Structure 1
Amino acid sequence: MLTALANTLPHFRHTQSGQFFLMAGPCVIEGEDMALRIAERIKHLTDKLQIPYIFKGSYRKANRSRLDSFTGIGDEKALRILQKVGREIGVPTVTDIHESEEAALAAEYVDVLQIPAFLCRQTDLLIAAAKTGKVVNIKKGQFLSGEAMKFAVDKVQESGNMNVILTERGNSFGYSDLVVDYRNLPAMQRFGVPVVMDVTHALQKPNQSSGVTGGQPALIEIIAKAAIAVGADGLFIETHPTPTTALSDGANMLPLDQLEGLLQRLTRLRDAVRPTGEVSAQGLNA
Protein backbone atom coordinates (compact mmCIF):
# COMPACT_ATOMS: atom_id res chain seq x y z
CA MET A 1 0.00 0.00 0.00
CA LEU A 2 2.83 2.41 0.81
CA THR A 3 4.61 1.88 -2.48
CA ALA A 4 1.37 2.09 -4.46
CA LEU A 5 0.50 5.40 -2.82
CA ALA A 6 3.92 6.91 -3.45
CA ASN A 7 3.85 5.82 -7.09
CA THR A 8 0.28 6.97 -7.70
CA LEU A 9 0.07 10.40 -6.05
CA PRO A 10 2.13 12.32 -8.62
CA HIS A 11 -0.22 11.08 -11.35
CA PHE A 12 -3.61 11.69 -9.73
CA ARG A 13 -4.38 14.42 -12.26
CA HIS A 14 -3.78 12.02 -15.11
CA THR A 15 -5.73 8.92 -14.04
CA GLN A 16 -7.93 7.35 -16.66
CA SER A 17 -11.09 8.16 -14.72
CA GLY A 18 -10.12 11.78 -14.15
CA GLN A 19 -11.69 11.49 -10.70
CA PHE A 20 -10.68 13.64 -7.73
CA PHE A 21 -9.28 11.93 -4.64
CA LEU A 22 -10.49 12.39 -1.08
CA MET A 23 -8.75 12.91 2.24
CA ALA A 24 -11.40 12.55 4.93
CA GLY A 25 -11.92 11.55 8.53
CA PRO A 26 -12.27 13.09 11.98
CA CYS A 27 -10.28 16.11 13.08
CA VAL A 28 -8.53 14.10 15.77
CA ILE A 29 -8.38 10.42 16.70
CA GLU A 30 -10.85 10.10 19.58
CA GLY A 31 -10.77 6.31 19.89
CA GLU A 32 -10.34 3.09 17.93
CA ASP A 33 -13.99 2.15 17.39
CA MET A 34 -14.94 5.57 16.05
CA ALA A 35 -11.93 5.78 13.72
CA LEU A 36 -12.60 2.33 12.26
CA ARG A 37 -16.31 3.06 11.87
CA ILE A 38 -15.70 6.35 10.05
CA ALA A 39 -13.01 4.87 7.81
CA GLU A 40 -15.12 1.85 6.91
CA ARG A 41 -18.11 4.00 6.01
CA ILE A 42 -16.09 6.38 3.83
CA LYS A 43 -14.25 3.49 2.16
CA HIS A 44 -17.61 1.96 1.24
CA LEU A 45 -18.77 5.24 -0.32
CA THR A 46 -15.55 5.97 -2.18
CA ASP A 47 -15.30 2.43 -3.55
CA LYS A 48 -18.83 2.74 -4.93
CA LEU A 49 -18.02 6.09 -6.55
CA GLN A 50 -14.47 5.09 -7.62
CA ILE A 51 -12.87 7.89 -5.63
CA PRO A 52 -9.31 7.24 -4.37
CA TYR A 53 -9.44 7.60 -0.57
CA ILE A 54 -6.93 8.53 2.15
CA PHE A 55 -8.09 8.36 5.79
CA LYS A 56 -7.28 11.50 7.78
CA GLY A 57 -6.93 11.79 11.55
CA SER A 58 -4.65 13.90 13.74
CA TYR A 59 -2.85 11.92 16.42
CA ARG A 60 -2.31 15.12 18.39
CA LYS A 61 -3.63 18.68 18.08
CA ALA A 62 -0.75 21.00 18.92
CA ASN A 63 -2.31 24.25 17.67
CA ARG A 64 -5.13 25.04 20.11
CA SER A 65 -6.40 28.43 21.19
CA ARG A 66 -6.89 27.50 24.86
CA LEU A 67 -4.75 25.55 27.25
CA ASP A 68 -7.70 23.39 28.30
CA SER A 69 -8.62 22.36 24.72
CA PHE A 70 -8.54 18.65 23.87
CA THR A 71 -5.25 17.67 22.23
CA GLY A 72 -5.43 13.89 21.93
CA ILE A 73 -5.61 10.47 23.58
CA GLY A 74 -1.84 9.95 23.62
CA ASP A 75 0.60 9.99 20.72
CA GLU A 76 1.50 6.33 20.31
CA LYS A 77 -2.01 5.15 21.14
CA ALA A 78 -3.48 7.34 18.41
CA LEU A 79 -0.75 6.43 15.93
CA ARG A 80 -1.40 2.72 16.51
CA ILE A 81 -5.08 3.34 15.76
CA LEU A 82 -4.14 5.06 12.50
CA GLN A 83 -1.96 2.08 11.63
CA LYS A 84 -4.82 -0.31 12.40
CA VAL A 85 -7.21 1.70 10.21
CA GLY A 86 -4.77 1.45 7.34
CA ARG A 87 -4.32 -2.30 7.73
CA GLU A 88 -7.90 -3.34 8.47
CA ILE A 89 -9.76 -0.98 6.14
CA GLY A 90 -7.11 -1.16 3.43
CA VAL A 91 -6.58 2.57 2.89
CA PRO A 92 -3.58 4.90 3.10
CA THR A 93 -3.56 7.24 6.10
CA VAL A 94 -2.47 10.82 6.74
CA THR A 95 -1.70 12.69 9.96
CA ASP A 96 -0.10 16.03 10.77
CA ILE A 97 3.23 16.59 12.48
CA HIS A 98 4.41 19.74 14.25
CA GLU A 99 8.07 19.23 15.22
CA SER A 100 10.99 17.80 13.28
CA GLU A 101 11.45 14.93 15.72
CA GLU A 102 7.85 13.79 15.17
CA ALA A 103 8.46 12.96 11.50
CA ALA A 104 10.32 9.67 12.01
CA LEU A 105 7.89 8.53 14.72
CA ALA A 106 4.73 9.23 12.72
CA ALA A 107 6.27 7.75 9.57
CA GLU A 108 6.34 4.34 11.28
CA TYR A 109 2.52 4.31 11.36
CA VAL A 110 1.10 6.37 8.47
CA ASP A 111 1.57 6.83 4.73
CA VAL A 112 1.34 10.62 4.37
CA LEU A 113 2.85 13.25 6.66
CA GLN A 114 0.93 16.52 6.72
CA ILE A 115 2.55 19.88 7.44
CA PRO A 116 0.10 22.31 9.11
CA ALA A 117 -0.50 25.64 7.39
CA PHE A 118 1.10 27.71 10.14
CA LEU A 119 4.30 25.62 9.77
CA CYS A 120 4.65 25.45 5.99
CA ARG A 121 7.78 27.64 6.03
CA GLN A 122 9.57 25.61 8.73
CA THR A 123 12.61 24.35 6.85
CA ASP A 124 13.75 21.75 9.40
CA LEU A 125 10.24 20.29 9.62
CA LEU A 126 9.90 20.01 5.84
CA ILE A 127 13.32 18.39 5.49
CA ALA A 128 12.60 15.92 8.30
CA ALA A 129 9.32 14.94 6.66
CA ALA A 130 11.00 14.60 3.27
CA LYS A 131 13.74 12.35 4.59
CA THR A 132 11.22 9.76 5.84
CA GLY A 133 10.42 8.97 2.21
CA LYS A 134 6.70 9.30 2.88
CA VAL A 135 4.36 11.44 0.81
CA VAL A 136 4.36 14.98 2.25
CA ASN A 137 1.14 17.03 2.19
CA ILE A 138 1.90 20.70 2.81
CA LYS A 139 -0.98 22.99 3.70
CA LYS A 140 -0.63 26.49 2.29
CA GLY A 141 -0.15 29.08 5.00
CA GLN A 142 -3.07 31.42 5.66
CA PHE A 143 -0.57 34.21 5.09
CA LEU A 144 0.82 33.06 1.71
CA SER A 145 -0.12 33.16 -1.95
CA GLY A 146 -0.24 29.99 -4.00
CA GLU A 147 2.84 31.11 -5.92
CA ALA A 148 4.88 31.35 -2.70
CA MET A 149 4.36 27.64 -2.00
CA LYS A 150 6.95 26.82 -4.68
CA PHE A 151 9.63 27.22 -2.04
CA ALA A 152 8.00 24.71 0.30
CA VAL A 153 7.81 22.21 -2.58
CA ASP A 154 11.45 22.87 -3.41
CA LYS A 155 12.56 22.18 0.16
CA VAL A 156 10.99 18.72 0.10
CA GLN A 157 12.01 17.79 -3.44
CA GLU A 158 15.55 19.08 -3.08
CA SER A 159 15.80 16.88 0.02
CA GLY A 160 15.29 13.87 -2.25
CA ASN A 161 11.52 13.33 -1.98
CA MET A 162 9.41 14.02 -5.06
CA ASN A 163 6.11 12.91 -3.53
CA VAL A 164 4.48 16.20 -2.55
CA ILE A 165 0.86 17.35 -2.27
CA LEU A 166 -0.18 20.97 -1.70
CA THR A 167 -3.42 21.86 0.09
CA GLU A 168 -5.30 25.16 -0.08
CA ARG A 169 -7.19 26.14 3.09
CA GLY A 170 -8.00 29.81 2.73
CA ASN A 171 -6.28 33.04 3.62
CA SER A 172 -6.65 35.25 6.67
CA PHE A 173 -8.95 38.14 5.87
CA GLY A 174 -9.82 40.82 8.37
CA TYR A 175 -10.36 39.55 11.89
CA SER A 176 -11.36 35.95 12.76
CA ASP A 177 -12.23 35.02 9.20
CA LEU A 178 -10.82 33.31 6.10
CA VAL A 179 -11.43 33.72 2.39
CA VAL A 180 -10.64 31.29 -0.43
CA ASP A 181 -8.89 32.65 -3.51
CA TYR A 182 -9.43 29.93 -6.12
CA ARG A 183 -6.60 31.32 -8.24
CA ASN A 184 -4.30 29.55 -5.79
CA LEU A 185 -5.31 26.09 -7.09
CA PRO A 186 -4.04 26.48 -10.67
CA ALA A 187 -1.11 28.53 -9.37
CA MET A 188 0.07 25.62 -7.22
CA GLN A 189 -0.72 23.00 -9.90
CA ARG A 190 1.93 24.67 -12.05
CA PHE A 191 4.53 23.15 -9.72
CA GLY A 192 3.59 19.70 -11.06
CA VAL A 193 2.11 18.35 -7.82
CA PRO A 194 -1.46 17.35 -6.88
CA VAL A 195 -3.42 20.21 -5.30
CA VAL A 196 -6.13 19.62 -2.71
CA MET A 197 -8.88 21.93 -1.43
CA ASP A 198 -9.31 21.73 2.33
CA VAL A 199 -13.03 22.39 2.33
CA THR A 200 -13.77 22.33 6.04
CA HIS A 201 -10.79 24.29 7.37
CA ALA A 202 -11.42 26.99 4.77
CA LEU A 203 -14.72 27.58 6.58
CA GLN A 204 -13.24 28.07 10.03
CA LYS A 205 -13.84 31.17 12.09
CA PRO A 206 -10.56 31.22 14.03
CA ASN A 207 -9.65 33.19 17.14
CA GLN A 208 -13.14 33.65 18.51
CA SER A 209 -13.53 35.47 21.82
CA SER A 210 -14.53 32.18 23.46
CA GLY A 211 -11.21 30.61 22.52
CA VAL A 212 -13.05 27.94 20.50
CA THR A 213 -12.80 28.04 16.71
CA GLY A 214 -16.11 28.56 14.93
CA GLY A 215 -17.17 27.55 11.45
CA GLN A 216 -19.68 27.72 8.62
CA PRO A 217 -20.50 24.10 7.74
CA ALA A 218 -23.55 25.15 5.72
CA LEU A 219 -21.10 26.35 3.05
CA ILE A 220 -19.18 23.05 2.72
CA GLU A 221 -20.93 22.06 -0.50
CA ILE A 222 -20.39 25.48 -2.06
CA ILE A 223 -16.65 25.47 -1.34
CA ALA A 224 -16.30 21.86 -2.57
CA LYS A 225 -18.25 22.46 -5.78
CA ALA A 226 -16.22 25.56 -6.60
CA ALA A 227 -12.97 23.63 -6.05
CA ILE A 228 -14.08 20.82 -8.36
CA ALA A 229 -15.19 23.35 -10.98
CA VAL A 230 -11.76 25.01 -10.84
CA GLY A 231 -10.05 21.63 -11.25
CA ALA A 232 -8.80 20.61 -7.80
CA ASP A 233 -7.08 17.22 -7.83
CA GLY A 234 -8.42 16.30 -4.42
CA LEU A 235 -10.66 17.37 -1.56
CA PHE A 236 -9.96 17.37 2.17
CA ILE A 237 -13.08 17.06 4.34
CA GLU A 238 -13.26 16.52 8.08
CA THR A 239 -16.32 14.49 9.01
CA HIS A 240 -17.78 13.00 12.18
CA PRO A 241 -20.92 11.01 13.03
CA THR A 242 -22.03 13.79 15.39
CA PRO A 243 -20.00 16.99 14.94
CA THR A 244 -21.68 18.60 17.97
CA THR A 245 -19.98 16.03 20.22
CA ALA A 246 -16.62 16.03 18.42
CA LEU A 247 -13.66 16.76 20.66
CA SER A 248 -12.02 19.12 18.15
CA ASP A 249 -13.24 21.39 15.31
CA GLY A 250 -16.84 20.22 15.48
CA ALA A 251 -18.05 23.66 14.39
CA ASN A 252 -16.87 23.21 10.80
CA MET A 253 -17.13 19.44 10.23
CA LEU A 254 -19.52 17.66 7.88
CA PRO A 255 -21.96 15.17 9.48
CA LEU A 256 -20.92 11.73 8.24
CA ASP A 257 -24.42 10.87 7.04
CA GLN A 258 -24.29 13.82 4.60
CA LEU A 259 -21.08 12.71 2.91
CA GLU A 260 -22.60 10.25 0.43
CA GLY A 261 -24.99 12.75 -1.15
CA LEU A 262 -22.24 15.37 -1.34
CA LEU A 263 -19.81 12.99 -3.06
CA GLN A 264 -22.46 11.90 -5.54
CA ARG A 265 -23.14 15.50 -6.53
CA LEU A 266 -19.42 16.28 -6.75
CA THR A 267 -18.69 13.32 -9.01
CA ARG A 268 -21.46 14.45 -11.35
CA LEU A 269 -20.00 17.95 -11.36
CA ARG A 270 -16.52 16.57 -12.07
CA ASP A 271 -17.93 14.68 -15.07
CA ALA A 272 -19.58 17.85 -16.33
CA VAL A 273 -16.53 20.12 -16.08
CA ARG A 274 -13.77 17.67 -17.01
CA PRO A 275 -11.89 19.20 -19.96
CA THR A 276 -11.56 17.27 -23.19
CA GLY A 277 -8.05 18.60 -23.64
CA GLU A 278 -5.46 20.74 -21.92
CA VAL A 279 -5.60 24.50 -22.58
CA SER A 280 -2.55 26.53 -21.69
CA ALA A 281 -2.73 29.79 -19.78
CA GLN A 282 -1.06 31.45 -22.78
CA GLY A 283 -3.80 30.14 -25.03
CA LEU A 284 -6.47 31.52 -22.76
CA ASN A 285 -4.81 34.92 -22.64
CA ALA A 286 -4.06 35.15 -26.35
Structure 2
Amino acid sequence: MDPFIDGFGVGHRAAGADETRAANRGWWDEEATAYYAEHGDFLGDGRLVWGPEGFTESELGLLGPLEGRDVLEIGGGAAQGGRYAAARGARVVSTDLSAGMLRQAAAIDARSGIALPLAQCDATALPFVDSCFDIVFTAYGAVPFVADSGAIMREAARVLRPGGRFVFATTHPVRWAFPDAPGPEGLVADRSYFDRTPYVEQGDDGAATYVEHHRTLGDRVREIAGAGLTLVDLVEPEWPDRNPQVWGGWSPARGRVIPGTAIFVADKRAGG
Protein backbone atom coordinates (compact mmCIF):
# COMPACT_ATOMS: atom_id res chain seq x y z
CA MET A 1 0.00 0.00 0.00
CA ASP A 2 1.30 3.44 -0.91
CA PRO A 3 2.83 5.37 2.00
CA PHE A 4 0.42 8.29 1.65
CA ILE A 5 -2.55 6.16 2.67
CA ASP A 6 -3.85 6.51 6.20
CA GLY A 7 -4.48 2.79 6.69
CA PHE A 8 -8.00 2.76 5.24
CA GLY A 9 -7.18 3.17 1.54
CA VAL A 10 -7.87 6.92 1.67
CA GLY A 11 -5.53 9.83 1.18
CA HIS A 12 -4.03 12.33 -1.26
CA ARG A 13 -1.75 11.49 -4.16
CA ALA A 14 -1.30 12.18 -7.86
CA ALA A 15 -3.92 10.71 -10.18
CA GLY A 16 -3.90 11.26 -13.92
CA ALA A 17 -6.76 11.50 -16.38
CA ASP A 18 -6.96 7.80 -17.28
CA GLU A 19 -6.83 6.56 -13.68
CA THR A 20 -9.35 9.19 -12.61
CA ARG A 21 -11.76 8.30 -15.40
CA ALA A 22 -11.60 4.55 -14.78
CA ALA A 23 -11.97 4.92 -11.01
CA ASN A 24 -14.94 7.26 -11.13
CA ARG A 25 -16.75 5.37 -13.87
CA GLY A 26 -16.41 2.17 -11.85
CA TRP A 27 -17.44 3.81 -8.57
CA TRP A 28 -20.61 5.39 -9.98
CA ASP A 29 -21.51 2.21 -11.88
CA GLU A 30 -21.35 0.26 -8.63
CA GLU A 31 -23.02 2.87 -6.43
CA ALA A 32 -25.77 4.10 -8.77
CA THR A 33 -28.62 2.09 -7.25
CA ALA A 34 -27.58 2.69 -3.63
CA TYR A 35 -27.00 6.40 -4.28
CA TYR A 36 -30.49 6.80 -5.70
CA ALA A 37 -32.01 4.82 -2.82
CA GLU A 38 -30.28 7.10 -0.29
CA HIS A 39 -30.73 10.48 -1.98
CA GLY A 40 -33.58 9.99 -4.43
CA ASP A 41 -36.26 11.48 -2.18
CA PHE A 42 -34.18 14.62 -1.60
CA LEU A 43 -33.28 15.06 -5.25
CA GLY A 44 -36.66 14.08 -6.66
CA ASP A 45 -37.05 12.57 -10.11
CA GLY A 46 -37.81 15.80 -11.95
CA ARG A 47 -36.21 18.58 -9.91
CA LEU A 48 -32.93 20.36 -10.43
CA VAL A 49 -31.35 20.57 -6.97
CA TRP A 50 -28.12 22.56 -7.06
CA GLY A 51 -26.53 21.07 -3.95
CA PRO A 52 -26.94 19.54 -0.48
CA GLU A 53 -28.32 22.83 0.81
CA GLY A 54 -31.46 21.97 -1.16
CA PHE A 55 -31.90 25.06 -3.33
CA THR A 56 -33.58 24.28 -6.64
CA GLU A 57 -33.51 25.84 -10.08
CA SER A 58 -37.13 26.87 -9.62
CA GLU A 59 -35.95 29.03 -6.70
CA LEU A 60 -32.67 30.37 -8.09
CA GLY A 61 -33.47 30.68 -11.80
CA LEU A 62 -29.84 30.42 -12.91
CA LEU A 63 -30.41 28.78 -16.29
CA GLY A 64 -32.71 31.45 -17.63
CA PRO A 65 -35.72 30.71 -19.85
CA LEU A 66 -36.01 27.05 -20.85
CA GLU A 67 -38.99 26.98 -23.22
CA GLY A 68 -37.81 26.05 -26.70
CA ARG A 69 -34.14 25.93 -25.73
CA ASP A 70 -31.64 23.19 -26.62
CA VAL A 71 -30.17 22.05 -23.31
CA LEU A 72 -27.29 19.72 -22.44
CA GLU A 73 -26.87 18.21 -18.98
CA ILE A 74 -23.38 16.84 -18.35
CA GLY A 75 -22.54 14.56 -15.44
CA GLY A 76 -26.30 14.26 -15.11
CA GLY A 77 -26.41 11.08 -13.03
CA ALA A 78 -30.02 9.92 -13.12
CA ALA A 79 -30.95 12.98 -15.22
CA GLN A 80 -33.18 14.67 -12.65
CA GLY A 81 -32.05 18.10 -13.82
CA GLY A 82 -32.56 17.22 -17.45
CA ARG A 83 -36.06 16.00 -16.67
CA TYR A 84 -36.79 19.31 -14.94
CA ALA A 85 -35.73 21.26 -18.03
CA ALA A 86 -37.69 18.99 -20.39
CA ALA A 87 -40.86 19.47 -18.36
CA ARG A 88 -40.48 23.21 -18.96
CA GLY A 89 -40.33 22.96 -22.70
CA ALA A 90 -36.62 22.47 -23.34
CA ARG A 91 -35.16 19.96 -25.79
CA VAL A 92 -32.74 18.08 -23.53
CA VAL A 93 -29.90 15.59 -23.81
CA SER A 94 -28.55 14.23 -20.52
CA THR A 95 -25.10 12.65 -20.36
CA ASP A 96 -22.97 10.84 -17.82
CA LEU A 97 -19.73 8.88 -17.74
CA SER A 98 -21.40 6.05 -15.82
CA ALA A 99 -23.58 3.48 -17.55
CA GLY A 100 -24.96 2.57 -14.13
CA MET A 101 -26.25 6.07 -13.56
CA LEU A 102 -27.77 6.19 -17.04
CA ARG A 103 -29.56 2.90 -16.37
CA GLN A 104 -31.02 4.53 -13.28
CA ALA A 105 -32.07 7.48 -15.44
CA ALA A 106 -33.77 5.15 -17.93
CA ALA A 107 -35.65 3.42 -15.10
CA ILE A 108 -36.96 6.79 -13.87
CA ASP A 109 -37.92 7.72 -17.43
CA ALA A 110 -39.96 4.55 -17.71
CA ARG A 111 -41.87 5.43 -14.52
CA SER A 112 -42.26 9.15 -15.15
CA GLY A 113 -43.21 9.08 -18.80
CA ILE A 114 -40.60 11.74 -19.62
CA ALA A 115 -38.13 9.96 -21.88
CA LEU A 116 -34.88 11.88 -22.33
CA PRO A 117 -32.19 11.21 -24.90
CA LEU A 118 -29.32 9.79 -22.83
CA ALA A 119 -25.67 9.54 -23.85
CA GLN A 120 -22.69 7.98 -22.12
CA CYS A 121 -19.63 10.15 -22.60
CA ASP A 122 -16.68 11.86 -20.95
CA ALA A 123 -17.51 15.49 -20.22
CA THR A 124 -14.02 16.48 -21.41
CA ALA A 125 -14.76 15.11 -24.91
CA LEU A 126 -18.42 15.72 -25.73
CA PRO A 127 -19.78 13.91 -28.83
CA PHE A 128 -21.65 16.95 -30.17
CA VAL A 129 -20.94 19.43 -32.94
CA ASP A 130 -19.98 23.02 -32.27
CA SER A 131 -22.61 25.59 -31.31
CA CYS A 132 -25.59 23.24 -30.96
CA PHE A 133 -26.88 24.04 -27.43
CA ASP A 134 -28.28 27.14 -25.78
CA ILE A 135 -27.62 25.96 -22.21
CA VAL A 136 -25.15 23.51 -20.66
CA PHE A 137 -25.34 22.67 -16.98
CA THR A 138 -24.31 20.24 -14.29
CA ALA A 139 -25.18 20.03 -10.59
CA TYR A 140 -22.26 18.39 -8.80
CA GLY A 141 -21.50 16.31 -11.87
CA ALA A 142 -18.27 15.92 -13.83
CA VAL A 143 -16.33 19.01 -12.71
CA PRO A 144 -14.55 17.62 -9.59
CA PHE A 145 -14.28 14.12 -11.06
CA VAL A 146 -11.86 14.80 -13.91
CA ALA A 147 -8.17 15.60 -13.88
CA ASP A 148 -8.53 18.51 -16.32
CA SER A 149 -11.67 20.44 -15.42
CA GLY A 150 -10.56 23.24 -17.72
CA ALA A 151 -11.29 20.84 -20.58
CA ILE A 152 -14.92 20.67 -19.40
CA MET A 153 -15.16 24.46 -19.61
CA ARG A 154 -13.69 24.44 -23.11
CA GLU A 155 -16.06 21.71 -24.27
CA ALA A 156 -19.05 23.51 -22.78
CA ALA A 157 -17.99 26.68 -24.60
CA ARG A 158 -17.48 24.78 -27.85
CA VAL A 159 -20.97 23.24 -27.94
CA LEU A 160 -22.70 26.45 -26.78
CA ARG A 161 -24.16 28.84 -29.27
CA PRO A 162 -23.08 32.48 -29.00
CA GLY A 163 -25.06 34.03 -26.16
CA GLY A 164 -25.46 30.62 -24.50
CA ARG A 165 -25.05 29.86 -20.81
CA PHE A 166 -22.99 27.35 -18.80
CA VAL A 167 -23.91 26.76 -15.15
CA PHE A 168 -22.13 24.31 -12.87
CA ALA A 169 -22.35 23.55 -9.17
CA THR A 170 -19.49 21.91 -7.32
CA THR A 171 -18.05 21.57 -3.85
CA HIS A 172 -17.01 25.02 -2.65
CA PRO A 173 -13.19 25.19 -2.91
CA VAL A 174 -12.76 26.36 0.70
CA ARG A 175 -14.08 22.99 1.86
CA TRP A 176 -10.86 21.34 0.69
CA ALA A 177 -9.00 22.74 3.68
CA PHE A 178 -11.37 21.08 6.18
CA PRO A 179 -12.06 17.44 7.10
CA ASP A 180 -15.09 15.97 5.33
CA ALA A 181 -17.02 15.55 8.57
CA PRO A 182 -20.43 17.00 9.48
CA GLY A 183 -19.70 17.83 13.13
CA PRO A 184 -17.45 20.34 14.91
CA GLU A 185 -14.35 18.45 13.78
CA GLY A 186 -15.25 19.52 10.23
CA LEU A 187 -14.77 23.18 11.15
CA VAL A 188 -11.04 23.00 11.91
CA ALA A 189 -8.80 23.34 8.85
CA ASP A 190 -6.29 20.51 8.57
CA ARG A 191 -4.70 21.02 5.15
CA SER A 192 -3.73 23.83 2.82
CA TYR A 193 -6.43 25.34 0.63
CA PHE A 194 -3.71 25.70 -2.01
CA ASP A 195 -2.74 22.01 -2.02
CA ARG A 196 -4.23 20.64 -5.23
CA THR A 197 -3.16 17.03 -4.68
CA PRO A 198 -6.17 14.86 -5.57
CA TYR A 199 -8.21 13.00 -2.98
CA VAL A 200 -7.99 9.28 -3.72
CA GLU A 201 -9.64 6.14 -2.42
CA GLN A 202 -7.86 2.99 -3.50
CA GLY A 203 -7.92 -0.77 -3.12
CA ASP A 204 -5.25 -3.03 -1.64
CA ASP A 205 -3.66 -3.28 -5.08
CA GLY A 206 -3.04 0.46 -5.11
CA ALA A 207 -5.48 1.14 -7.94
CA ALA A 208 -7.75 4.13 -7.40
CA THR A 209 -11.43 3.39 -6.88
CA TYR A 210 -12.59 7.01 -6.48
CA VAL A 211 -10.88 10.35 -7.21
CA GLU A 212 -11.73 14.01 -6.67
CA HIS A 213 -9.67 16.95 -7.88
CA HIS A 214 -9.42 20.32 -6.16
CA ARG A 215 -9.24 23.77 -7.72
CA THR A 216 -9.22 27.12 -5.93
CA LEU A 217 -11.73 29.86 -6.69
CA GLY A 218 -9.06 31.62 -8.71
CA ASP A 219 -8.42 28.44 -10.71
CA ARG A 220 -12.12 28.18 -11.54
CA VAL A 221 -12.27 31.81 -12.73
CA ARG A 222 -9.21 31.26 -14.94
CA GLU A 223 -10.69 28.04 -16.36
CA ILE A 224 -13.90 29.86 -17.27
CA ALA A 225 -12.05 32.81 -18.81
CA GLY A 226 -9.64 30.49 -20.62
CA ALA A 227 -12.58 28.79 -22.30
CA GLY A 228 -13.77 32.11 -23.69
CA LEU A 229 -16.69 32.36 -21.27
CA THR A 230 -17.66 35.32 -19.10
CA LEU A 231 -18.41 34.74 -15.43
CA VAL A 232 -21.65 36.57 -14.64
CA ASP A 233 -22.47 35.19 -11.19
CA LEU A 234 -21.03 33.10 -8.37
CA VAL A 235 -23.65 31.80 -5.95
CA GLU A 236 -22.59 30.57 -2.48
CA PRO A 237 -25.83 29.26 -0.93
CA GLU A 238 -26.28 29.69 2.81
CA TRP A 239 -27.69 26.67 4.58
CA PRO A 240 -31.46 27.17 4.98
CA ASP A 241 -33.23 26.52 8.28
CA ARG A 242 -35.71 24.29 6.46
CA ASN A 243 -33.06 21.63 5.73
CA PRO A 244 -32.09 19.42 8.70
CA GLN A 245 -30.41 16.66 6.75
CA VAL A 246 -26.79 15.53 6.88
CA TRP A 247 -25.30 14.47 3.55
CA GLY A 248 -21.77 13.17 4.03
CA GLY A 249 -19.71 16.13 5.20
CA TRP A 250 -22.52 18.60 4.48
CA SER A 251 -24.67 19.50 7.46
CA PRO A 252 -26.58 22.38 9.04
CA ALA A 253 -23.80 22.81 11.62
CA ARG A 254 -21.14 23.33 8.97
CA GLY A 255 -23.33 25.01 6.39
CA ARG A 256 -24.10 27.93 8.67
CA VAL A 257 -20.38 28.65 9.13
CA ILE A 258 -18.59 27.84 5.85
CA PRO A 259 -19.95 27.51 2.32
CA GLY A 260 -20.47 23.99 1.02
CA THR A 261 -21.41 24.69 -2.59
CA ALA A 262 -20.26 27.10 -5.28
CA ILE A 263 -22.44 27.64 -8.35
CA PHE A 264 -20.73 29.32 -11.29
CA VAL A 265 -22.81 31.04 -13.98
CA ALA A 266 -20.99 31.86 -17.20
CA ASP A 267 -22.11 33.14 -20.61
CA LYS A 268 -20.62 32.74 -24.05
CA ARG A 269 -20.24 36.14 -25.64
CA ALA A 270 -22.76 36.78 -28.38
CA GLY A 271 -19.94 37.48 -30.83
CA GLY A 272 -17.74 34.63 -29.61
TM-score by length of 1: 0.33
**Structure with more contact order per residue of length (Cα contacts < 8 Å, sep ≥ 6):** 2
Q: Which structure's residues are more often helix, by fraction?
A: 1
TM-score by length of 2: 0.34
